[in-house]
Structure 1
Amino acid sequence: MVWIAVHLLIATKKQHSFNSIIKPVSILIAVRNEEKNIHFLLYQLLNQSYSLFEIVIVDDHSTDETINKLKKITHTKLKWYQLPDGKEGKKEAIKYGLTKCTYAWVIMTDADVKMQNDWLSSNISKMSEEAIIVSPVYVEVKKATYFNMFQQLDFAAMQYLTIASIIAKKPFMCSGANLAIPKTKALELYQAIDTSIPSGDDVFLLHKYIEQKGNVIANVLPSSA
């Protein structure tokens, strides 16, 4: 644990001064039955300190009010689509959404993620080369029960191990709730991923990329939960 803490401290100090990279990015979110989260998600994204982005949302056949809420939102940065009939699942939604993204870099997140207003800029500061940028995701404890606190500690440990493994050049897992990748590379990798398996969209993507000897970068200041 001391080794992990030291390496994270060094990486954090290196990252505190965001570089001057300026490039537009596409934020891609696959959603399903997110009526409770969609408004707050968009509020957070539209209040980011970095402004050169578009939001691409793909709805995976929601049965709640998600679509109706999206229909009522008009903003030049927002594009949303419904996953065509015959396709379903998060992997298919992401794969479809990638074809709708305008910009060369794509940042993937989830509808229930909470983020600070420098979330985008912290990711963009790492976009100097072709790589997958992996960021930690934190669990918010709404009620301080023993189970919830244990869950938070367990999840936090996984996030530390994720970042530490990348720093050690041995990445093995990541979270699709906080992941950045060049669009062309993502499209290529998703062609090789089995979309019939319902989970693992993030880890399968990472492992396919590692098989190609791709570079994986840790972003230790993602400012999201």
Structure 2
Amino acid sequence: MLSFYLIWSLSYFTLLWWVSRFWTSIKNEPVNQAFIPAVTLIIPFRDEAKNIPSLSLNLKKLKYPGLEILLIDDHSDDDSFQLLDKSFEENQNFKVIRSDRKGKKSALEYGVKIASGQIILCTDADCGFPEDWVEHMILPFQNPKVQLVAGAVMVEGNGKFIEAFQSLDWASILLMTKYTFAQKEPLMCSGANLAYRKEAFQKVNGYEGNRDFASGDDEFLLKKIHKMYGKEACFYLSSPDILVITKPEPNWQALINQRVRWASKWKAHFSLSHAMSAAGVFLMQLIWIGSIFLIFLGGRGVLAFGLVWLIKVFAEKLSLGKVLKNLDKQQSNLSIFQTSFVHPFYVLRVGIGALNGKFTWKGRGNGRSVNLESEN
């Protein structure tokens, strides 16, 4: 058992070192002033009244010429629609519209249908972005083979451990996202920072076949476009120039509920690589948790336990630290140390929740228990 865990921890270190090699530190990519395609920014929203002031300020800072902005209301129960409508009533480039059906995917599909831009850019109502975000996100579309561009997303924080934990958790997501894109076999991306050609969205029939799931608008579309257009169709940007900042979840229950919602769509992918990746991550955490039994093997076991976890923490500091440093979002050594110990239990909890498949989000249950398409 001692030998197994020593080999395991060194293998883990090697794996993270290898994956982190694909996270390149590219900054300040110059904008091509001659490339100005028509772009429509679509932001679906539901019950976001508290985020309207910051969203309005962020949107008004965007300087892309002729940018069309569609704010699609997913049947809010608060006064989000009225606040946004009043905020942009004198700007013809902004349109605040109610979706014809319930659900985020329906709101996005409705937005794409009426969009005038040939490039669709998406984010969420609780996010912030640089003023030249649009210019940098559309650059890869200069290559006619590129149909979808995904960008990095990170949470903001003020020093609380739960926020530092989410920052490091996001860094692990970004690390694996960048790696799978580099291997031309992308597994995931974030709808909070996503662009694609309107024509490609229409050719893959949008979210047809996936509308019953309350989450996954980003991943389902990624898989469809990758399958139809090939390995060169999807591109990932990791520069701080396109970094979108989202709000952290306020407590552990909200965070776990969010991650269960994200993870619960695994059954819908019908992908061996996706299923194996999910199972591999789950098994990896079980092995880390199982290392606790080393303590009961006496002095040598205690030393082995300490060494194994020291290697784990060091591996995560090097790899996740590289991601955070590139995005100017570094965390303290203490936060990394704490997160390294908590993370396996957190992943195990989310995994069990995903197997159960039940969650609520903004008053709605998951798609299999509440068919969003049939609601009036």
Distance 1:83 1:162, change over 3 A: same
For residues 163 and 85 of structure 2, the distance between their equivalents in structure 1, rounded to whole angstroms, comes to: 35
Instruction: Provide the residue aligned with 1:17 in structure 2.
Output: 30
**8 Å contact from structure 1 (residues 118, 223) kept in 2:** no
- Determine helix, strand or coil for the equivalent of 2:157: coil
- Determine helix, strand or coil for the equivalent of 1:33: coil
Instruction: Provide the residue aligned with 1:224 in structure 2.
Output: 244
Superposed displacement of residue 6, structure 1? 4.0
Query: What letter is aligned with 2:153?
Result: V
RMSD: 1.8
* Greater RCO, CA 8 A, separation 6+: 1
User: Does 1:153 find its partner at 2:153?
Assistant: no
- Determine helix, strand or coil for the equivalent of 1:106: strand
User: Does 1:46 find its partner at 2:60?
Assistant: yes
TM-score for the superposition, normalised by structure 1: 0.90
Larger % of helix: which?
2
- Give a deviation string over 1:29-75, Cα, whole Å, max 9, x none: 11001111123223212212423311011101001110111231221
**8 Å contact from structure 1 (residues 193, 204) kept in 2:** no
User: Does 1:123 find its partner at 2:141?
Assistant: no
For residues 52 and 5 of structure 1, the distance between their equivalents in structure 2, rounded to whole angstroms, comes to: 38
Tell which deviates more after alignment, 72-81 or 89-98.
Answer: 72-81
- Determine helix, strand or coil for the equivalent of 2:194: strand
Instruction: Provide the residue aligned with 1:209 in structure 2.
Output: 225
Distance 1:67 1:161, change over 3 A: same
For residues 76 and 35 of structure 1, the distance between their equivalents in structure 2, rounded to whole angstroms, comes to: 22
1:45-124 equivalence runs, <5 A: 45-72=59-86, 73-74=88-89, 75-84=91-100, 87-124=101-138
Superposed displacement of residue 131, structure 1? 1.5
**8 Å contact from structure 2 (residues 207, 220) kept in 1:** no
Distance 1:201 1:148, change over 3 A: same
- Give a deviation string over 1:150-201, Cα, whole Å, max 9, x none: 2210111101211221122121100001100001211333153421211111
Query: What letter is aligned with 2:51?
Result: N
Query: What letter is aligned with 1:80?
Result: V
Distance 1:192 1:116, change over 3 A: same
For residues 154 and 179 of structure 1, the distance between their equivalents in structure 2, rounded to whole angstroms, comes to: 20
Distance 1:53 1:199, change over 3 A: same
Tell which deviates more after alignment, 187-196 or 177-186.
Answer: 187-196
Query: What letter is aligned with 1:200?
Result: G
For residues 122 and 41 of structure 1, the distance between their equivalents in structure 2, rounded to whole angstroms, comes to: 20
| Match of residue 202, structure 2, among 187, 193, 196 | 187
Superposed displacement of residue 224, structure 1? 1.7
Instruction: Provide the residue aligned with 2:22 in structure 1.
Output: 7
For residues 177 and 199 of structure 1, the distance between their equivalents in structure 2, rounded to whole angstroms, comes to: 13
Distance 1:77 1:67, change over 3 A: same
- Determine helix, strand or coil for the equivalent of 2:97: strand
For residues 111 and 97 of structure 1, the distance between their equivalents in structure 2, rounded to whole angstroms, comes to: 15
For residues 46 and 193 of structure 1, the distance between their equivalents in structure 2, rounded to whole angstroms, comes to: 36
**8 Å contact from structure 2 (residues 192, 244) kept in 1:** no
- Determine helix, strand or coil for the equivalent of 1:26: strand
For residues 79 and 163 of structure 1, the distance between their equivalents in structure 2, rounded to whole angstroms, comes to: 34
Aligned residues: 220
The answer for unaligned runs of 5 or more in structure 1 is none
Residue identity over aligned pairs, in percent, reads 30
For residues 6 and 191 of structure 1, the distance between their equivalents in structure 2, rounded to whole angstroms, comes to: 34
For residues 3 and 213 of structure 1, the distance between their equivalents in structure 2, rounded to whole angstroms, comes to: 28
- Determine helix, strand or coil for the equivalent of 2:174: helix
- Determine helix, strand or coil for the equivalent of 1:212: helix
- Determine helix, strand or coil for the equivalent of 1:217: strand
For residues 213 and 187 of structure 1, the distance between their equivalents in structure 2, rounded to whole angstroms, comes to: 13
